[in-house]
Amino acid sequence: MAFFRTINFSDPLPTIAGEGVVLRTPQVTDYSEWVALREASRDFLTPWEPTWPADDLSRTAFRRRIRRYAEDLRTDLGYAFLILRSSDDALVGGLTLANIRRGVAQAGSLGYWMGKPHARQGYMTAAVRAVIPFAFSTLRLHRLEAACIPTNNGSIKLLEKTGFVREGYARDYLCINGIWQDHLLYGRLKDAKS
């Protein structure tokens, strides 16, 4: 059931402008820049992400990723964005609204990654702040959720700075870097202030 959906799927997903960043849908032509940033950031990202498949950085895997994003968009299950620096269109990271649930929930999960050269420069804060109105107004969600490993102080600060409230603790919640890890659970409601 997908009531409350407001996106017209015959049109491309709109770009979203934020303070110093632009969010847009990933395209096959982004492969070279994406793979360079992900490879350069592998050690930085590994502690916070699921184990990368052996072929994760291959062109074929990237095409599969783009097809999955397109299918998630078509079925209103998820919305993937690349985060570009406004000043020069350089790729700095990525953000997803995933696990969209309609009906009585009207909720989705926020996920994100930042390339190591661009970390701690405010780009992710700007991107999350930019995607929140899209989630609540365009997608008409009522609630956004996010989870992070308790030792990920950067994510904790990001979520709290952007209006997410800690709501719980989930034991062995996600398999990150090959290990089932506990996570702090956060939520942000449509009318919350950031």
Q: What is the pLDDT of residue 183?
A: 98
**Cβ(95)–Cβ(111) under 8 Å?**
yes
* C-alpha closest to that of 187 among 132, 127, 119: 132
Instruction: Give the CATH number for residue 32.
Output: 3.40.630.30
What percent of the chain lies above the pLDDT cut of 90? 91
Domain-embedded: residue 65 = yes
Global pTM reads 0.92
Domain-embedded: residue 70 = yes
* pLDDT higher than threshold 70 for residue 138: yes
What's the total number of domains in the chain?
1
Domain-embedded: residue 7 = no
Q: What is the largest CA-CA distance in the chain?
A: 42
Domain-embedded: residue 2 = no
Q: Given the DSSP bridges, would you call strands 107-114 and 179-189 parallel, antiparallel or unpaired?
A: unpaired
pLDDT digits (tens, 9 = 90+) for 61-114: 999 999 999 999 999 999 999 999 999 999 999 999 999 999 999 999 999 999
Q: Which domain holds residue 23?
A: 16-189
Domain-embedded: residue 80 = yes
Domain-embedded: residue 172 = yes
